[in-house]
Amino acid sequence: MSVYSQNRVYLDHNATSPLRNEAREAMLQAFDTLGNPVSLHGHGRDARKICEDAREAVALAMGVCAQDLIFTGSGMESDNTAIHSAYKAGCTHMLVAEMDHPATINAAQNCGAVCEKIPCNADGQTDMDWLRDRLKNWDSAEGRPFVSITAANSETGVIQDISTATDLTHDAGGLILVDAVQIMGKMPMTYNVDYLSVSAHKVGGPQGVGALYVASDAPFTSLLQGGGQEKRRRAGTLNVAGIAGFGAAANAATPMPHLSAMRDRIETELRTMEPDITFFGENAPRLPNTSFLALPDVAAQTLLMGLDLEGVSVSTGTACSSGVSRTSRVVNAMGLTDKAPLGAMRVSLGYTTTDANIDTFLNAWAKVRRYNQRVAS
């Protein structure tokens, strides 16, 4: 870690969580392994064992069978692979939650299928009554039903009712994909879905490694063509060190309910300082580490830059869309654009977050706001 980073407070874990020491050590050991995991000789077997041990660890954290797990290059690749597989299996009309991550929305819109968005309410919860009615009136000409729902929104942290969505989808004879990238390592995972995607760097593993669970009876078509790796399900030489880091991070990551007290303290103290502040999704079940907020008369990027100058790293939303000055897509979907006309800001805590970090953030916020108010006057 650079000296610059060491002196900063990091509150952007939903974008990426710092590499855990356990993952770093596992990767360093894997770098000393010479073989290709598909080679039959001893060096190859050593590399393959590293990958299979990691597969077991990641599968255990996901609550799935290791034999049904495919390593990928990212959560986004996992989502794209699942959607590609479903489309090739006849799911030519897809229902994608409006609160989904761009990884699923964009893939569904561009795979050739008709993409229909499942609306949400003002709390950011996917409308299960709408989904029930839509599936009840499904036309066989639309192909096999396919539903995609992100388990927890990366911006608001709102947790979706995956159990109900799964039951509705399966009762209609359909397939369901759940993007669990934000859930893994924060809450237990017990899903009975057809496709389940996760990503290493959200749990303190390395960037550039993901995994996709494919149920044994779910259709599958490889997205990447080439060699026979991953039982011919995902071509390309395995990233042995990255996979080792993923496995170690999955072993080390445990649910962090204590973060909710830190998150609640942030929201309580900010509300005292800012009576007009809005916390999106606060009335719905949320991840314990996430707060998505806005002031009606202050640009989110102005707050972000001010906090950055004070040594605090936060974000204005999902990392895949950051750097773009506009109203949050998620806020628009919730019908609350008037609450955040100048954008919203996300504070996301993680395993490195301390009470002292929260003190620093709140002090930095107060300093930035005093400066902004002086400038405005």
Q: Where are the beta strands (DSSP E) in 18-104?
A: 69-72, 93-97
| Cα separation, 180 vs 134, whole angstroms | 24
The yes-or-no answer on residue 115 being catalytic is no
- Single out the residue of 195, 153, 150 nearest to residue 174, CA to CA: 195
| Cα separation, 150 vs 148, whole angstroms | 7
Local structure of residue 120 (DSSP, 8 states): B
The answer to whether 283 and 183 are in contact (CB under 8 A) is: no
The answer to whether 271 and 297 are in contact (CB under 8 A) is: no
| Cα separation, 77 vs 83, whole angstroms | 10
| Cα separation, 69 vs 60, whole angstroms | 11
The answer to whether 243 and 210 are in contact (CB under 8 A) is: no
How many angstroms from the chain centroid is the CA of residue 132? 25
Tokens of 61: 């954290």
Which residue matches tokens 């999902």? 318
How many angstroms from the chain centroid is the CA of residue 153? 7
Query: H/E element holding 183?
Result: none
Which residue matches tokens 């003190």? 359
Catalytic residues: 320
